[in-house]
Amino acid sequence: MLVEDTEIPGCHVLQATVLRDERGAFTKTFHALLFEDAKLRTDWAEEYFTLSKKGVVRGMHFQLPPAAHAKMVFCLTGRVLDVVVDLRKGSPAFGRALSFELSAENGRGLYLPVGCAHGFVSLSETSGMYYKVTSVYSPEYDAGIAWDSIGFDWPTTDPVLSKRDKSHPAFGDFDTPFIFAQD
């Protein structure tokens, strides 16, 4: 697995090696020693899996302190355009949205530090996303910003959204509690 920097400090592309043979494929999504060497968190507290139909946008999600978490995501089935926004005051990438195509085929994943919002749009008929997070889901600290308020050119104008995702405030109306800390 390769850990590649992005323009958002602390956010990394995880390029897994996908081994293919006549049976199918094998992909390792986590290696504790490699993560520790790259100074990435390994204290996972919860993991989950979502299935989304084509055109579904999920996001832009995060948890507020004290339940904020780092996150690792991989697309295990199908294909998504994954989007990350830096919410940390003082970050050189504050407010910047970056996107990455993740798929079962390309073996790419993302590591997101605390203070980044995360979302994606499903590009295939069905997409399965796998998440690991460093804190347990906490409804009272669950938060998000509106998907269409981050200055990003999504490949859809009329996505399928949850009621929750329709109710998030715009990025410009969000008073972020996250502060960038230089390592």
Q: What is the pLDDT of residues 3-26, one digit of tens each?
A: 999 999 999 999 998 899 999 989
- 12, 61, 69, 168: the active-site residue: 61
Q: Which residues contact 135 (CB under 8 A, 6 or more apart)?
A: 45, 46, 63, 67, 68, 69
Please determine, for residue 175, whether its predicted confidence score (pLDDT) is greater than 70: yes
- pLDDT, the chain, mean: 96
Q: Domain containing 167: what range?
A: 2-173
Q: How far apart are CA 19 and CA 161, in angstroms?
A: 35
- 12, 69, 131, 168: the active-site residue: 131
178 falls within a domain: no
Name residue, tokens 């390769």.
2
| CATH number of the domain within which 98 lies | 2.60.120.10
Q: DSSP characters for 59-124?
A: EEEEE-TTS---EEEEEEESEEEEEEEE--BT-TTTT-EEEEEEETTT-EEEEE-TTEEEEEEE-S
Q: How far apart are CA 52 and CA 133, in angstroms?
A: 19
Q: How confident is the model at residue 182 (pLDDT cuts 50, 70, 90)?
A: confident
Average pLDDT over residues 135-152: 97
Q: Is 111 among the residues known to form the active site? A: no
Nearest of 109, 133, 132 to residue 1 by alpha carbon:
109
What SS3 class is residue 38?
coil
73-112, pLDDT tens digit by residue? Answer: 999 999 999 999 999 999 999 999 999 999 999 999 999 9
Q: Is 61 among the residues known to form the active site? A: yes
30 falls within a domain: yes
Residues in the chain, overall count: 183
69 falls within a domain: yes
60 falls within a domain: yes
